[in-house]
Structure 1
Amino acid sequence: TRSQNGMPILEEAVASFSCRVSSWTNTKTHAVFFGLVEEVHTRPVASPLIYARQTFHHIEQLRA
């Protein structure tokens, strides 16, 4: 399955996000990428829990 912008979506994933890279930085051991979420896909059988805005939320709470 693919998102509207053509990114692959894992069919069994509870949630998936399509993001556009907004910035990145290099650390001593990793490159860290920051993205702007463009699409959110969830399976109707689950309510994924994500960390955003310094606390945990269900995706439905953030869509409002």
Structure 2
Amino acid sequence: HVSLACAVPNGRWVEYIPQLDEITTTRLRIEKGKAFAPEEPGLGIGWDWDAIRGRSEIMHAVRKAA
């Protein structure tokens, strides 16, 4: 939630979840140890719906097999 951290004067930490890189088309921009909020409205997350569907199908197959 880099947008929120940028809006708060004492916001010093941003959670980064590298596993999301596999299901998103956008990346958190980090330069010299600083994270930058996206320029477009919203959270700036571009979801890769094909990757999400692919992982969803894998999870359904695992649950059915169990």
**Same-fold call, TM cutoff 0.5:** no
Bigger radius of gyration among the two = 2
More helix per residue: 1 or 2?
2
More strand per residue: 1 or 2?
1
Relative contact order, higher structure (CA 8 A, sep 6+): 2
TM-score range, shorter chain: under 0.3
